[in-house]
Structure 1
Amino acid sequence: MRIGIIFGGPSREREISFAGGRTVFDNLDKTLFEAVPVFVDSLGNFILLDWHLIYKGTIRDFYPPVDTVPYSAHHLQIYLESLGELEKEELDAIIGKVGKKIQPHKFKEHFDFAFLALHGPYGEDGNIQGLLEWYRIPYSGSGILASAIGIDKIVQKQFMQNNGFASPSYSVIPAEVWARVEDRPAMFEQLTYELGLPLVLKAPHQGSSIGVSVLKDPDFEEFETAVNKSFFTKNISKDAWQELDNAGKVNLVKQLTDIREGIGLPVIADDETEIYHPEELLKHLQSVFTLTGTEFVSLTNVETEPAVLVESFIRGKEFSCIVVQDADGKAVALPPTEIVKGNDVFDYRSKYLPGLSRKITPIDLPEEQIQKIRQECVRLFEAFGFNVYARLDGFFSENGTIFLNDPNTTSGMLPSSFFFHQAAEIGLNPSQFLTYIIRTSLAERIKSGKNVLALTQMLETLDRAIAGNRMAVQDKMKVGVIMGGYSSERHISVESGRNIYEKLASSAKYQPIPIFLTGSSEQYKLYEIPVNIMLKDNADDIKEKIEFYENGGHAHPVLDKIRQEAISITATFAGNVLQEPQQISFSQLANMLDAVFIALHGRPGEDGALQAKLEEFGIPYNGSGIASSQITINKYDTNEILRKHGMHVAQHALVSKADWQKNATDFYEKVEVNFSYPFIAKPSDDGCSSAVKKIKNREELEAFTNLIFREGDDLIPEHARTLALNYKEEFPNKQVYLIENLISAEGAKHFLEVTGGLLTKFLPDGKVAYEIFEASEALAVGEVLSLEEKFLAGEGQNITPARYDSDPERRQEISDKVKADLLKVAQILNIEGYARIDAFVRVLENDEVETIIIEVNSLPGMTPATCIFHQTAINGYKPYDFIDKILTYGMERNHKKAQVH
């Protein structure tokens, strides 16, 4: 069955939709479905997307294409709408560079079923559902009416009150009322009198916590700012603007034009000027504040809200609950998940970056109260006429009242989302859950009475294929995916491991088994874990759950009941399900698996120790061998070896905790003698941007040193503030750390940071051949490339291939030189399987090219958004194909070693 995955769209949630579409594309069962990516741009055009573009990190990485984007002096990123009003020919030319434009009446030529991964307006409001029904295309999720209700938070309030659901007190501020500036103070007084403080302000048609504020204090100015935020309006004062330096002004424009945190583009200014491009906005603000006597500028997005919803604040436990339908159409609430967050709003960053919030499933309440939450969620699902599945959010208040709010007819579909997290509690992995969604959606569309014969035949065909699929599981190769560990990179390791697991689970060749590693460098502990534990929010949650079962714990009684209620779903789509984690030995691992995929980062994993253990038991594995791994784990040793072989590397030095403890003042002075500020300080054996900092002065050097050499796990607050560490940012404890000269342009006419991947294969004569991919250009917003920019969908920007030169031929010449340098690095270090090499590139005035190597990752991050997948796509490999090649190499290497012995 051809599944058209419809994703992207005009809404502010388009990046999460894009990432969710990629998740669906990768996880659809390849034995049942053919995935067809249908990207919707911000103007509403449907584009049959070239498949390799789905692996870009963000929409802005490929659309509009780089060669159609006007020059930006400040490297400001844009979406299509920032190109302004385009002629049809111009737009068609842009679309033609990324795929093929398709009209809705031609949908049937390309796909049989539409899987909707769109969010917000145009995707969850009944618009796309109505379009698809008109052209007789079955689609996933709820129908037109339920979707229209599900998008509008104000209409939902009225429906919920009419159906007897508890609701916090609320009020509505219509846009035309807010426009009367003189009435605002009285309005604020009235709202605080009626609703109390704190107040919660919401943009009623947005998701992902966009346009949401919590107002705690009786501060009118803060209230005005919060309401404007929900209307996507921003007021800027001349004084505030003139206080900023040039960099600050550029950063303000970046924040303003961010579609999630800011107001986005296009905007209308006070004087009715319509502004499309961020550079245009920067110039407008400069000229207005410089050339006129204007004291304030007001900017409003053209897609503003008609009203703002204001609610009284609910004190209690926040939760989210997925409700699904069983084979008979009966609604079943999956276990509600409690959200433990670091601030008042479960915001965009907390929702989508692992480790920043905790998900506790089921919610930490007595069984009777959990069941009441489930009952209310089912009642709302049925009252609103939802179909197939929905995500219902809510609060269990301090006095025991259940408040439901913001029902979503299309849940976020990132690997860490509630959508997959709760389905795993009844035993469905992501691939199986997507099959369930498609099958159940077909059954629901039949109930509409439209196109019944064709849909019934389609459903019967799918049911036969699903039944046949269950029979074929025994023939698959078993691969243990090892994830977790105990380093500061453990959360990203889990993200990588889950991604590998999911790609293999949807294949016809492999049956993946999730293995969690914990313990210490002296003794590894391995556990086979059920899929529901694998999909816990982060590595610490997984470890905690394992320890719970080890200490005699049992599945929550509510989970047992839900699994019983959902038995018809599980039996059809999952078969037998592992219920509890099981500790296993390396000898057991050897007996149960055909190979291992190590998804660990740093130590353990990349240091050769685990590889030695696997070789001892004859277990094939991915990546480099023992000796090479022992070198590349150590950035200092790696660069020393590369320097001896004539490669360009940074000047560097290792500094030790022992020297610092002996005499801290001498320690700092010695560093300052050998290195000029600013320089880079980082761990010598961690990756994923863990604790990589640009040190600009003595205060920051002292802060970094105190943190990395601290005795306990807790961060020292004053030093964390000095280094501007993010909430929950990992900072490891070490005995030594590495200092490097800051690599800069040094007069080069072009200077950029790149990251390049590679793959190895065996030639017929047994020699190893290297395939070096086109490197990606990494654009950092801050001083160094952050964790979010590397791994969080929609963050940062990676341009693949790297833009070494505007002339295509010259660009390729430079690229070939860089790739030749990366090949040398791989050969010097005897890298095998695959790797990622980070470097800076200087293109000098005489056209010479210098590649300065930063580090080598022998087990690079394999999260869905990582740029190695952008690179492999250029060479024709989808992520599964790439992973298959990596595993095949490991098994062939193991076979060759066995023959020698």
Structure 2
Amino acid sequence: MKIGIFFGGPSREREISFAGGRTVYDNLDKALFQAVPIFVDSRGNFILLDWHYIYKGTIRDFYPPVAALPASEHQLQVYMESLGALGTAEQDAIIAEVGRRVLPHELPELMDFAFLALHGPGGEDGAIQGLLEWYGIPYSGSGILASAFGIDKIAQKKLLKALGKPTPDFRTITAEEWDTADRGALLNYLTRELGLPLVFKAPRQGSSIGISILREPTPAQFAAAVERSLFRKTVTRDDWHRLGAQDKIVWVQHLTDIREGIGLPVTLSISDEQLVADHTTGMRQEPGLIYHPEALLQALDLAFGATGSVLLTNVDGEAQVLVESFVAGREFSCIVVEDPDGNPLALPPTEIVKGEEMFDYRSKYLPGLARKITPIDLPEAEIQRIREACEEMFRTFGFQVYARLDGFLSKDNQLFLNDPNTTSGMLPASFFFHQAAEIGLNPSQFLTYLIRTSLAARRRAGMKPVQLGTLVQQLDAAVAARQQHEQERTKVAVIMGGYSSERHISVESGRNIYEKLSSSIKYEPVPVFLTGNSQEFRLYVLPINVMLKDNADDIREKIEHAEAGHGLHPVLERIRREASAITSTYAGQPTAQPRRISFEELAQEVDEVFIALHGRPGEDGALQQELEKLGLPYNGSGVESSSITINKFETNRRLREAGLRVAEHRMAARLEWQADAESFYRSLETQFPYPFIAKPADDGCSSAVKKIKNRAELAAFSQLIFRRQEELMPEPATVLNLGFKEEFPQKDAFLVETLISRDGARHFLEVTGGLLTHWQADGTLGIEVFEASEALATGEVLSLEEKFLAGEGQNITPARYAPESAERQRISDEVKAELKRVAEVLNIQGYARIDAFVRVRGEAEFGGAVEVIIIEVNSLPGMTPATCIFHQTALSGYTPYDFIDRILEFGKERNEKLSLGARS
């Protein structure tokens, strides 16, 4: 069956939609479905996307393509709307760079079914559903009416009030009222009617976009909250002139961010109500409209020469603000699905545990920022009350197939439901898959069930009853046949987790590998969690519901819970019984508790291993040694090479001896610091002038990598990395500006390196390059080096989030070494040759990622000397859905699954060679 996946779209949630569409694309069962990627751009164009663009980190990494971008002094990435007013021919030319335009009447020829991963306006509001109904294409989720109702928070509140259902008290403010109101009197009225705190919401947005909480009746904060929900921003001359040149760029980037700012295009109004628009930038714009961030920079500089304040308004902002009473209590989210008979079935509700911060866009989608506890920790009767209320709302609002319902349990035990979503976020560990796993469905199986259920829902609603009836029968037969072939696949243990500061990223990588393999015809993955310490590795086979917990710490907690003898939660037992008609057909095997397993037992149960660990253990050769004892094939480099590349100091030493460029470096030891901290600091300052880089020598992936600019930061870094206790000391953490829940390992030594700078080069950039090895016909090792990605850091160094999390990093593949294609390729070839030398010197096998800085020397436009300075080597690079190694392999024609398959095949062939060598 051909499944058209609609993702992207015009809404502010387009990046989560893009990442969710990729999840669906990868997890559709390849034995049952053929995926057809339909990317929807921010102007509403349908694009049959070339598959390799699906694996870009963000939409802006590929669309609009670089060739279509206006000249930008600051190299700012933008969305399609920042190109201004474009004619159809101009849009077609841009679309042709990434795929081909699909007109609505062509959709029935491309697909049998539409899976909707679109969010917000244009995706959840009935618009796309109506279009598909017109063309007779069955689609996922709710129908037109329920979708339109599900996005309108104000209409929902009115219905709940009319039905006598509990919902927080509310008022609305229209944009026109706000413009003419006595704002002091309005604040007093809202405070009197609704109390404090007040919650402000953009009524037609999801993912907590445009939401604020007002805790004090402060006029300035009140105005900021209303403006946030209307997608406006008032800026004063003092605010603007307080910023330095670089700060202004960062401020504008944040302001125009569609998730946390107001987005573009905007109007700019000054106090005398004249519109200001700068026409000297070369950006395309209409009078009064500003499309591009750099045009906004110039317009603000121009405006503040004539006025004291300006009002920026997004042209697609909201017309109303919903103001609600704050509910103090426990927050939860519950996925409701239709069972095979069309009745709502609430999955186990998840509690969202956080600090004072709001459960905003970042907290929803970045693992570890908020804890998700499933089921919510309440008595069984209370959980059942939540489930029944969610099922009732599902019926009341006329939802179909599935929905995500959010709510609160107040301190006085009152239950409030609000903000239903007819399209849930579909990242691998989102509520959508997280709760389905509790009944035993992995993402691939859950998607199959939802497609089948959607077909039945469309048929019940009267769409092509005979044709859809036949389609349902064919799918049922294919699912039954699929179950019979389950035992014929190659079993691969995917080992994830660990106990390093990179354990959460390791879980993201492991889950991604699991999901790519589970939807394949060839492999049957077995998720295995590693915990313990360097003296003892403990392995646990995970059931799917534990594997899809939010992060590594949650998984470890569930394992400890099971080992303490705690059985299955009674609510989960109940839901699994209620869902047995689903799981008996789609899950294939019953759910279980985590199971401790020895290496010997692992060798009996699986055919090979994929190590998805990062740092120690995993990249240090220790785990590889255990697997070799048992003859188990594994991915990546061997024991000796891994033990070198984990140690950045030793890696740099060997590369320097081989004639490759590396930064000047030395180890800084705890004993030296403890003996005389002042001498320790002076010694480092003498050898390395500020600023320099400090980082752990044996952790990878930006963990605790810091640019040290002065003595205070050096002292803070030393205190934190040499600390004895687990928790961070607040004062040094503040000095280093550590982010929310940022990990910082404890070590006996750290690595200090010269900060690599431009040093007068004509062009200077940071790159990361992947490689893949294979056995050549003569038995020697061949090394394929991919086109490197250019990595753009928003801070002083690339963060873990920028490297691995969807929508966060800016990676441009291939790297922009030069504007002219021949020169770019010349430089690229030289860079790839250096990276290949690194792999040869270090005897890297399987695959790897090498980070480096590149300088292009010379005054001439072409032919300048190329210098490649190696930063570090990762023998088991991150394999999260958004990591740039998949962007690189796509350019060489490998899908992520193809790449993973090659890695596994190489490990198997190497194992066979080792076995033959041992026998001979």
Q: Same fold (TM over 0.5)?
A: yes
Q: Which amino acid aligns with 1:136?
A: G
Match of 1:224 in 2: 223
Q: Is the 8 A contact 2:348 2:387 kept in 1?
A: yes
Match of 2:892 in 1: 875
Match of 1:186 in 2: 185
Q: Is the 8 A contact 1:214 1:344 kept in 2?
A: no
Match of 2:205 in 1: 206
TM-score (norm 1): 0.99
Q: Which amino acid aligns with 1:37?
A: P
Match of 2:687 in 1: 674
Measure, in 2, the Cα distance between the counterparts of 1:359 and 1:70. Answer: 43
Match of 2:85 in 1: 85
The CA deviation at 1:251 is 1.2
Match of 2:822 in 1: 809
Among candidates 269, 280, 286, match of residue 295 of structure 2: 280
Q: Which amino acid aligns with 1:209?
A: S
Q: Is the 8 A contact 2:138 2:463 kept in 1?
A: no
Q: Is the 8 A contact 1:112 1:138 kept in 2?
A: yes
Measure, in 2, the Cα distance between the counterparts of 1:175 and 1:238. Answer: 24
SS in 2 for 1:179: helix
Offset from partner CA, 1:872-894 (integer Å, 9 cap, x none): 00111111110000000001111
Measure, in 1, the Cα distance between the counterparts of 2:434 and 2:482. Answer: 24
Q: Is the 8 A contact 2:656 2:662 kept in 1?
A: yes
Measure, in 2, the Cα distance between the counterparts of 1:779 and 1:798. Answer: 6
Q: Which moved more, 1:573-582 or 1:600-609?
A: 573-582
Q: Is the 8 A contact 1:163 1:383 kept in 2?
A: no
Match of 2:366 in 1: 353
Q: Is the 8 A contact 1:342 1:356 kept in 2?
A: no
Q: Which amino acid aligns with 1:19?
A: A
Measure, in 2, the Cα distance between the counterparts of 1:125 and 1:102. Answer: 21
1:460 equivalent to 2:473? Answer yes
Match of 1:153 in 2: 153
Q: Is the 8 A contact 1:530 1:577 kept in 2?
A: no
1:23 equivalent to 2:38? Answer no
Matches within 5 A, 1:510-589: 510-589=523-602
Q: Which amino acid aligns with 1:164?
A: G
Offset from partner CA, 1:298-323 (integer Å, 9 cap, x none): 00000111100011111111000000
The CA deviation at 1:766 is 1.6
Measure, in 1, the Cα distance between the counterparts of 2:659 and 2:57. Answer: 34
SS in 1 for 2:485: helix
The CA deviation at 1:578 is 3.4
Measure, in 1, the Cα distance between the counterparts of 2:162 and 2:887. Answer: 50
Matches within 5 A, 1:35-434: 35-181=35-181, 183-270=182-269, 271-272=274-275, 273-290=288-305, 292=306, 294-434=307-447
Among candidates 809, 814, 836, match of residue 849 of structure 2: 836
Offset from partner CA, 1:546-589 (integer Å, 9 cap, x none): 00110111110000000000001101111212310110001100
The CA deviation at 1:206 is 0.7
The CA deviation at 1:343 is 3.0
Measure, in 2, the Cα distance between the counterparts of 1:459 and 1:620. Answer: 41
Q: Which amino acid aligns with 2:118?
A: L
Q: Is the 8 A contact 1:652 1:740 kept in 2?
A: yes
Q: Which moved more, 1:71-80 or 1:704-713?
A: 71-80
The CA deviation at 1:140 is 0.3
Measure, in 1, the Cα distance between the counterparts of 2:153 and 2:462. Answer: 30
Measure, in 2, the Cα distance between the counterparts of 1:590 and 1:428. Answer: 26
Offset from partner CA, 1:394-453 (integer Å, 9 cap, x none): 001111111001000000000110000000000000000111110100010000112111
Q: Which amino acid aligns with 2:298?
A: K
Q: Is the 8 A contact 2:770 2:848 kept in 1?
A: yes
Measure, in 1, the Cα distance between the counterparts of 2:439 and 2:87. Answer: 51
Gaps of at least 5 residues in structure 2 are 276-287
Measure, in 1, the Cα distance between the counterparts of 2:470 and 2:913. Answer: 50
Q: Is the 8 A contact 1:153 1:205 kept in 2?
A: yes
Match of 1:445 in 2: 458
Q: Is the 8 A contact 2:439 2:591 kept in 1?
A: no
Match of 1:900 in 2: 917
SS in 1 for 2:741: coil
The CA deviation at 1:717 is 0.5
Offset from partner CA, 1:122-155 (integer Å, 9 cap, x none): 1000000000000000000000011001101111
SS in 1 for 2:769: strand
The CA deviation at 1:732 is 0.4
Measure, in 2, the Cα distance between the counterparts of 1:591 and 1:196. Answer: 63
Measure, in 2, the Cα distance between the counterparts of 1:882 and 1:382. Answer: 45
Match of 2:519 in 1: 506
Measure, in 1, the Cα distance between the counterparts of 2:630 and 2:570. Answer: 39
The CA deviation at 1:353 is 1.0
Match of 2:8 in 1: 8
Measure, in 2, the Cα distance between the counterparts of 1:696 and 1:439. Answer: 58
Q: Which amino acid aligns with 1:525?
A: R
The CA deviation at 1:687 is 1.3
The CA deviation at 1:163 is 2.8
Offset from partner CA, 1:843-892 (integer Å, 9 cap, x none): 10160101100000000000000000000001111111100000000011
Q: Which moved more, 1:161-170 or 1:455-464?
A: 161-170
The CA deviation at 1:164 is 3.0
The CA deviation at 1:243 is 1.1
Offset from partner CA, 1:509-563 (integer Å, 9 cap, x none): 0000000000110010000010000000100000010001101111100000000
Offset from partner CA, 1:201-228 (integer Å, 9 cap, x none): 0001111111000111111110100100
The CA deviation at 1:765 is 2.1
Offset from partner CA, 1:793-834 (integer Å, 9 cap, x none): 111210000010000111011101000000000010000000
Offset from partner CA, 1:102-127 (integer Å, 9 cap, x none): 01111011111100000000100000
Among candidates 796, 802, 806, match of residue 783 of structure 1: 796
Match of 1:866 in 2: 883
Q: Which amino acid aligns with 1:111?
A: M
Q: Is the 8 A contact 2:549 2:555 kept in 1?
A: yes
Among candidates 827, 833, 847, match of residue 840 of structure 2: 827
Q: Is the 8 A contact 2:198 2:214 kept in 1?
A: yes
Q: Is the 8 A contact 1:47 1:101 kept in 2?
A: yes
Offset from partner CA, 1:689-716 (integer Å, 9 cap, x none): 1101111000111111101111101111
Measure, in 2, the Cα distance between the counterparts of 1:579 and 1:153. Answer: 39
1:742 equivalent to 2:755? Answer yes
What CA RMSD, in Å, does the superposition of the two structures yield over aligned residues? 0.8
Q: Which amino acid aligns with 1:89?
A: A
Measure, in 1, the Cα distance between the counterparts of 2:136 and 2:604. Answer: 51
The CA deviation at 1:72 is 1.1
The CA deviation at 1:255 is 1.0
The CA deviation at 1:330 is 1.3
Match of 2:868 in 1: 851
Match of 2:732 in 1: 719
Offset from partner CA, 1:279-299 (integer Å, 9 cap, x none): 100000011113x1x000100
Measure, in 2, the Cα distance between the counterparts of 1:486 and 1:57. Answer: 27
Offset from partner CA, 1:45-68 (integer Å, 9 cap, x none): 000000000000000000000111
Q: Is the 8 A contact 1:486 1:518 kept in 2?
A: yes
1:891 equivalent to 2:897? Answer no
1:769 equivalent to 2:782? Answer yes
1:626 equivalent to 2:639? Answer yes
Q: Which amino acid aligns with 1:190?
A: Y
